[in-house]
Amino acid sequence: MSGVALTLPWIAEAVGGDFRGVETGPVTDVVTDSRAIGSGDAFVALAGPRFDGHDFVDAAFDRGAAGAVVSRQWAEGHAEVASRGNVIVVEEPLRALQALARAIRRAVTTRVVAITGSAGKTTTKELTAGALEPTFTVVKNQGNLNNHIGLPLSMIQLRQAPDVAVFELGMNHAGEIRTLVGIAEPEVRVWTNVGDAHLGFFASSDAIADAKAEILEGADASTLLVCSADDSRITSRRAAFPGRTVTFGEAADAHVRATDIEDRGLDGTRATVVTGEGQAVFETPLLGRANLANVLAATAVATACGVPLDVVRDRVARVGPAERRGMVRRLRDDVVVIDDSYNSSPAALAQALRTLVTERRARGRVAVLGEMLELGEHAVSLHQECGRQAARSGLRALFAVGGEAARHLARAAVDAGMPEAAVHYLPGSDAAAAAVDAAIQPGDVVLVKGSRGTRCDVVVDRLVRERG
């Protein structure tokens, strides 16, 4: 079918706004950053804790914006600016952006796949989109635009009427997935896992599971749920789902199941994938069992959409890690860095350490572990457990980076048996980068992982710059 030709009057009607201006023809794009405005774009003036887009309406018109979506309160007090160009006056621009995304979504027949989980959403999105692309026209979130602003902006792509859209849904508080599902109205819901990310905002992992379970809301008999068969917090919550369910995992009763799994360290994973349509040997360059689960999720979605299993196998074999999410960087003197510096959580860190252990060719194993944020009152105990696991991982050296929780991680590693001289605590990433660079030996495999706020990417960049 044809797509949606956006115009300012069409947008105004979709968002319930008051269009004040003249028809200017098609709208090129919808943006919220005035610096990215191109000629013919519509600018949505969002207000946030650190900025107010209304302060940049003038600049948007200077850059050639076809119009601006502004709040009624602002328009009444800034008539001289509003008169410079076309405006759509609404009660709240963010809600208008979300309403616009939903209106475009309802105007096309695109099948929407929505993915949530505590870890691996972006990788699962990339794998799923890659598996679908030989058969369908596909759009997806760019980067990690997966929240209440990023998802609507990503959904503007639906005006092209692709066959399938693959969107990840992020959250760190209850109610956020409900909002995003209400905007995306997905026919296919994917729930990958439940972990301890953002535990500081929840009473327990079960509370996180309840929030993630909002992915099930608003479904009907025609909706497909693709979910893990290996996570009891998911299996216990899927029973009330009214549509069809396809499970994936290592469990014997999973609809899409991995058997004969071979962990190949830095070379990824090989496994036999068994489905209702047959079986095939899959190879993925992605590291660890968690990424194998992401491959299985993508396989379940693609085969449910009619993609042949051999096509899925060939496509996922070519999907590498997203930026700083398990990237393998091979440097001089046989030094290898696993750049997993984009983010961290206790469950994801445990998986990364297990991957490090499986790499038998390493002459020495080094872990640079940044503090894991948003863990609230559980931060100390979870960091201590991660320190004990690090001590069991055969490390030659451990560097803990960040605040007091990171210090507890380092202390727990020593208490669990690591030599005190092999464990280093550094409060900042710049100092850590210098210390790690000085300590690396030929043949080392270095895992770098931490929450974004600890800026462990600085360590990776130093090593690549000095040893690349």
pLDDT tens, position by position, 121-157: 999 999 999 999 999 999 999 877 899 999 999 999 9
pLDDT of residue 379: 95
Q: Write down the pLDDT at residue 10.
A: 97
Q: What percent of the chain has pLDDT over 70?
A: 99
Instruction: Tell me the pLDDT of the chain averaged across its residues.
Output: 95
Phi, psi of 198 (to 5 degrees): 65, 25
299 pLDDT above the threshold of 80: yes
Cβ atoms of residues 383 and 376 within 8 Å:
no
**Is residue 181 classed exposed, middle or buried when 0-12, 13-18 and 19+ CB atoms within 10 A define those classes?**
buried
> CB neighbours (10 Å) of residue 162?
20
HSE-CB of 464 using CA atoms within 13 angstroms = 15
Q: Give the pLDDT confidence score for residue 81 in this predicted structure.
A: 86
Q: Is the pLDDT of residue 351 over 80?
A: yes
Percentage of the chain with pLDDT > 90?
88
Task: Choose between 174 and 458: higher pLDDT.
Answer: 458
Domains of the chain, CATH where assigned: 8-91 (3.40.1390.10), 108-316 (3.40.1190.10), 327-467 (3.90.190.20)
Average pLDDT over residues 406-417: 98
Q: At what angle do helices 176-184 and 205-212 cross, to 10 degrees?
A: 20
Q: pLDDT confidence of 158, banded at 50, 70, 90?
A: very high
Distance CA 405, CA 411 (A): 10
Q: Return left, alpha or beta for 129; rule: phi > 0 is left, psi -120 to 50 is alpha, else beta.
A: alpha
Reported as half-sphere exposure (CB side, CA atoms, 13 A), residue 133 has a value of 14
User: Which pair of structure tokens corresponds to residue 77?
Assistant: 């007090």
pLDDT at 1: 53
* Rounded-to-10 torsion of CA 385, 391, 394, 395: 100
User: What pLDDT is stored for residue 448 in this prediction?
Assistant: 98
Supply the pLDDT for residue 202.
82
Q: Mean per-residue pLDDT for 296-308? A: 98
Per-residue pLDDT reduced to its tens digit, 24-57: 889 999 999 999 999 999 999 999 888 899 999 9
pLDDT band at 200 (very low <50, low <70, confident <90, very high): confident
pLDDT value at residue 142: 82
What would the pLDDT profile of 51-93 be if each residue is shown by its tens digit?
A: 899 999 999 999 999 999 999 999 999 999 888 999 999 999 9
pLDDT for residue 272 is more than 80: yes
- Mean pLDDT over 190-219 rounds to 88
CA distance 211 to 195: 12
CA within 13 Å, CB half, 102 = 17
- Nearest residue to 289 (alpha-carbon basis) of 303, 272, 270: 270
pLDDT, one tens digit per residue, over 211-261 is 999 999 999 999 999 999 999 999 999 988 999 999 999 999 999 999 999
